Chains A and B, each alone.
Chain A
Amino acid sequence: MSADAILSSEEGVGALKRLATPVSRRAYAALFALFAVGLCALPSFVSGYVTTLAVEVMIAGVFASGINLLTGYTGLVSLGQAMFLGFGGYGIAIGTALLGWPLWISAPVTLVVVAAIAAAIGAICTRTRGVEFLLITLAFSQMFYGAAIKLRWTNGSDGMTGIPRPDLSLLGVSADNPTVFYYYVLVVAVLSLLMLWRIVTSPFGSVLVGIRENERRMMSMGYAVANYKIGSFALAAVICAVAGILQSQYTYFVNPDAMSWQMSGEGVLMVIIGGANVILGPFVGAAVFVVVKQALSMITEEYNLFFGIFFMLVVAFFRGGVLGSISTLIGKRK
């Protein structure tokens, strides 16, 4: 088993496997069902503040899920995924504000463009591995961050405003209503999660896992490994772009900070906390992260300092993430 904090895979899944006895399975399913119902009914029994917090968690979870595909499942640790978050937001901003397209055109077009750009960037970046890959993804995202600040037709560092939320008038509701927006994000998040689960359990996904485990052996087996890495990079980028679209719709604006190295770092941390290589991991990580961030910002202005220390502690001590740590606890009790 690999020693990387974020690449330790089996503790989370192992825990689930150990729960496979009939009684525990039913209990687990019941718990899950309860949680699902709770999610659906959330806005009706909590305050507006908690609802918006839940929206932030879900958006962050989608972003972290994209990172998880590339990092947790394929084993490519990138510090530049925020660039695709920014592409998503800027994509629909450019589409709706500058080109005058309705949202239902600019959103898919954005995702297609992101996939193409990501494939190109991925083709370059995946020629490297390990720390070099880390550096070069960071460099790329810094390049786009700089471009976003400089470009005048996207308003430079002020960013673009007036990002539209989806037009749900056909359903008789307005997405400007926080509760309605919550359900919109919930639907998108669930769909993204399902899509990710499908990818990961498919043959393509199994190849990605194999690449993480032993890339040389996969080549020896006969796989054109480079293509799969690029594919993973592009798919991860699209998922991150979806999060970017949601984020810009949530705040009604997008600015270069969405593409900063800090944003990439936050995403990676969420994956580590929640447990890489586990489907729900990124959402758990996002929940922990958002809550801690909120708590921290109420206590102190020096968010970066504490965040940095927290990050270092997590990397140093968390093996397998929160889910992994829990399963280790369960295992010990047996």
Chain B
Amino acid sequence: MQPFLIQLLNGVQLSMLVFLLAVGLTLIFGLMNILNLAHGAFFTMGAYFGLVVANKTGSFWLALLIGPLLPFAAGFVLQFFVLQPLAQRGRSTHLDLALLTFGLLFATAGAVEYIYGSAFHSIVTPDLLKGRVALLGIEYPIYRLFITAVGIAIAIALVLVIDRTLVGATLRAGVDNREMVTALGININVLFALVFGFGSALAGFAGVVSAPVMSIYSSMGIGIVVTTFVVVVVGGLGNLKGSFYASLIVGMTDTFAQAYLPEAELFAIYILLIAVMIFRPQGLFGAVGRVA
């Protein structure tokens, strides 16, 4: 059994990966009150597209950069051409739209299976990040540290953008009063679609980034998305900071359960979810978005 420090670092790394997924989901919900049940599909999409790029160009970095572009486009299109018009036509309940994304989940599961079959693929770790580094008495894979660093960097960047920039303020205003924002000459539909695309791109990015340590396969989205849902509920739907802390909690719980109680690993995060639901149904850090 590996030393505690390695488990700790693994826990943080998993947390950051889950955070990348959770933040996209919670961003979309918090700003637009849409629960995208097909969020895992963008994770899968990013990974596969990154795989294609990596195979064609032989470069990991290009895959990382270009991979998320496909889920970005898909997310943008979905929001702008499907979800937004339906919401405006009077089918405004978020429940309807959530169910719609559930249908999308089916469709994407089928589509990926159809295009790629059930084989397992992988992307090779780039040379720059290969190997291990000596850290506090243990040796730890550099790539995993990279994932952790990227996750934290994105977290900080997001908080800064949403709280401190004009774009963030416009977004927050748009959720509160879209007519007003539109009257100010801002195309709120495009803005929302961009956010949706961005949240989906984050999921896709997580897909590419995780490829060297996890396999790429057709149902990879499903496994991690339930963990993501748990994080989002525990952190409070729509609460960005909450999802960061919740990612840490869930990631650590999962890693340590896997290490010390392998039989109970599956249940560890569900028990966490149940406990939170019993004692604080609005999430540990409070829900910010409107619940349908």
A3, A312, A314 — most chain B CB neighbours (10 Å): A312
Please tell me if the beta carbons of A268 and B93 are within 8 angstroms of each other in the complex: no
Q: A123 — nearest CB in chain B belongs to which residue?
A: B278
Name A63-114 residues within 8 Å CB distance of B: 77, 79
Please tell me if the beta carbons of A306 and B110 are within 8 angstroms of each other in the complex: yes
Please tell me if the beta carbons of A127 and B281 are within 8 angstroms of each other in the complex: yes
- A residues near B93, Cβ cutoff 8 Å: 2-4
Q: Which of A129, A136, A143 contacts B277 (CB 8 A)?
A: A136
Q: Given contacts A124-B277, A306-B110, are A5 and B226 in contact (CB under 8 A)?
A: no
Please tell me if the beta carbons of A308 and B106 are within 8 angstroms of each other in the complex: yes
- B residues near A134, Cβ cutoff 8 Å: 35, 37, 95, 98
Please tell me if the beta carbons of B266 and A146 are within 8 angstroms of each other in the complex: yes
B109 CB–A CB distance under 8 Å: yes
How far is A147 from B86 in the complex, measured between Cα atoms in Å? 38
Q: Mark A127-143, 1 if CB is under 8 A from B, else 0.
A: 11111101110111011
B229 CB–A CB distance under 8 Å: yes
- B residues near A183, Cβ cutoff 8 Å: none
The smallest beta-carbon distance between A6 and chain B, in angstroms, is: 8
Chain B interface residue number, banded: 35 or more
- A residues near B103, Cβ cutoff 8 Å: 265, 308-312, 314-315
Please tell me if the beta carbons of A3 and B270 are within 8 angstroms of each other in the complex: no
Please tell me if the beta carbons of A311 and B292 are within 8 angstroms of each other in the complex: no
How far is A332 from B267 in the complex, measured between Cα atoms in Å? 54
Q: Which of A124, A147, A272 contacts B278 (CB 8 A)?
A: A124
The smallest beta-carbon distance between A300 and chain B, in angstroms, is: 9
How far is A77 from B100 in the complex, measured between Cα atoms in Å? 13
B120 CB–A CB distance under 8 Å: no
B90 CB–A CB distance under 8 Å: yes
The smallest beta-carbon distance between B42 and chain A, in angstroms, is: 15
Q: Which of A125, A131, A262, A310 contacts B95 (CB 8 A)?
A: A131
How far is A129 from B35 in the complex, measured between Cα atoms in Å? 13
B94 CB–A CB distance under 8 Å: yes
B99 CB–A CB distance under 8 Å: yes
Please tell me if the beta carbons of A143 and B110 are within 8 angstroms of each other in the complex: no
Please tell me if the beta carbons of B278 and A139 are within 8 angstroms of each other in the complex: no
B77 CB–A CB distance under 8 Å: no
A204 CB–B CB distance under 8 Å: no
Q: Mark B72-101, 1 if CB is under 8 A from A, else 0.
A: 000000000010001000111111101110
- B residues near A272, Cβ cutoff 8 Å: 99
Please tell me if the beta carbons of B233 and A3 are within 8 angstroms of each other in the complex: no
The smallest beta-carbon distance between B290 and chain A, in angstroms, is: 9
The smallest beta-carbon distance between A138 and chain B, in angstroms, is: 7
Q: Which of A128, A139, A310 contacts B226 (CB 8 A)?
A: A139
B214 CB–A CB distance under 8 Å: no
How far is A249 from B90 in the complex, measured between Cα atoms in Å? 44
How far is A265 from B233 in the complex, measured between Cα atoms in Å? 21
Please tell me if the beta carbons of A305 and B292 are within 8 angstroms of each other in the complex: no
Name A1-41 residues within 8 Å CB distance of B: 2-6
B107 CB–A CB distance under 8 Å: yes
A214 CB–B CB distance under 8 Å: no
The smallest beta-carbon distance between B152 and chain A, in angstroms, is: 26
B102 CB–A CB distance under 8 Å: yes
Please tell me if the beta carbons of A147 and B266 are within 8 angstroms of each other in the complex: yes
The smallest beta-carbon distance between B30 and chain A, in angstroms, is: 12
- B residues near A308, Cβ cutoff 8 Å: 103-110
B291 CB–A CB distance under 8 Å: yes
The smallest beta-carbon distance between B235 and chain A, in angstroms, is: 12
B240 CB–A CB distance under 8 Å: no
- B residues near A309, Cβ cutoff 8 Å: 103, 107
The smallest beta-carbon distance between A144 and chain B, in angstroms, is: 9
Please tell me if the beta carbons of B109 and A304 are within 8 angstroms of each other in the complex: yes
Please tell me if the beta carbons of B270 and A79 are within 8 angstroms of each other in the complex: no
Please tell me if the beta carbons of B237 and A124 are within 8 angstroms of each other in the complex: no
B274 CB–A CB distance under 8 Å: yes
A150 CB–B CB distance under 8 Å: yes
Please tell me if the beta carbons of B96 and A311 are within 8 angstroms of each other in the complex: no
Please tell me if the beta carbons of A130 and B281 are within 8 angstroms of each other in the complex: no
The smallest beta-carbon distance between B283 and chain A, in angstroms, is: 9
Please tell me if the beta carbons of B226 and A131 are within 8 angstroms of each other in the complex: no
Please tell me if the beta carbons of A312 and B226 are within 8 angstroms of each other in the complex: no
The smallest beta-carbon distance between A296 and chain B, in angstroms, is: 11
How far is A5 from B267 in the complex, measured between Cα atoms in Å? 34
Q: Which 10 A-B pairs have the closest CB atoms?
A: A308-B107, A304-B110, A308-B106, A311-B103, A305-B110, A130-B292, A312-B103, A127-B281, A143-B270, A131-B35
Known A127-B281, A307-B106, A311-B99; 7 more pairs at CB < 8 Å = A3-B96, A5-B99, A127-B278, A304-B106, A304-B107, A305-B110, A307-B110
B interface residue numbers (CB < 8 A to A):
29, 35, 37, 82, 86, 90-96, 98-100, 102-111, 113-114, 226, 229-230, 232-233, 237, 266-267, 270, 273-274, 277-278, 281, 287, 291-292
A interface residue numbers (CB < 8 A to B):
2-6, 77, 79, 124-125, 127-132, 134-136, 138-140, 142-143, 146-147, 150, 262, 265, 268, 272, 302-312, 314-316
Q: 28 interchain pairs (CB within 8 A)?
A: A5-B99, A79-B102, A124-B277, A127-B277, A128-B291, A129-B292, A130-B94, A132-B237, A134-B98, A135-B35, A135-B233, A138-B226, A139-B229, A143-B267, A265-B103, A272-B99, A302-B110, A302-B113, A302-B114, A304-B106, A304-B110, A305-B111, A307-B107, A308-B110, A312-B100, A312-B107, A314-B103, A315-B96
